[in-house]
Structure 1
Amino acid sequence: MEAGKVCSSNSVLQARRAVEQLRLEASLERIRISVAATQLVQYCQEHGRSDPLLTGIAASSNPFKDKKTCVLL
């Protein structure tokens, strides 16, 4: 087989994969941005009180806090 034919068949295969991926993406059901934004805001408001990034972590339950301090004499 010639190098040109291999290259050509490889690019045809890549093009088929791209078309298949685009068809898959086009067939996905999408929701409107306004609906998604409303749902996201509602979720954040409902779960904000339990989010450690917003409320912080108690020092007693923080596994990454240093257990002892370094003292230089």
Structure 2
Amino acid sequence: MSGKMCSSSNSVVQAQKLVDQLRIEAGMERIKISLTASDLVRYCQEHRRSDPLLTGIAASSNPFKDKKTCVLL
């Protein structure tokens, strides 16, 4: 029976930890999603000229480009 009591005390401790964590999370100040999304859109628009995913990478400055080409004879 001591194993059963130990198990129930462990579950009580785990439940208390969960409740404490949920209280901490509930007390956090949240930012409205609409504000965050508009900030993200504005940032992307301001930096689109330097974004390599949009503009591409020049072959001369691409460090991952193969230096030599393979030619089969």
**Unaligned 5+ residue runs, structure 1?**
none
In the alignment, the residues of structure 2 paired with residue 19 and residue 2 of structure 1 have an alpha-carbon distance, to the nearest angstrom, of: 26
Residue in 1 aligned with 2:41? 41
Residue in 2 aligned with 1:52? 52
TM-score scaled by length of structure 1:
0.84
Residue in 2 aligned with 1:72? 72
Q: Any idea what the Cα deviations from partners look like across 1:37-72, whole Å, max 9, x if unmatched? A: 211111111111111111111111111111111111
In the alignment, the residues of structure 1 paired with residue 16 and residue 49 of structure 2 have an alpha-carbon distance, to the nearest angstrom, of: 48
In the alignment, the residues of structure 2 paired with residue 44 and residue 55 of structure 1 have an alpha-carbon distance, to the nearest angstrom, of: 13
Residue in 2 aligned with 1:19? 19
Which segments of structure 1 move beyond 2 Å, counting only runs of 4 or more? Answer: none
The amino acid of 1:30's aligned partner reads: R
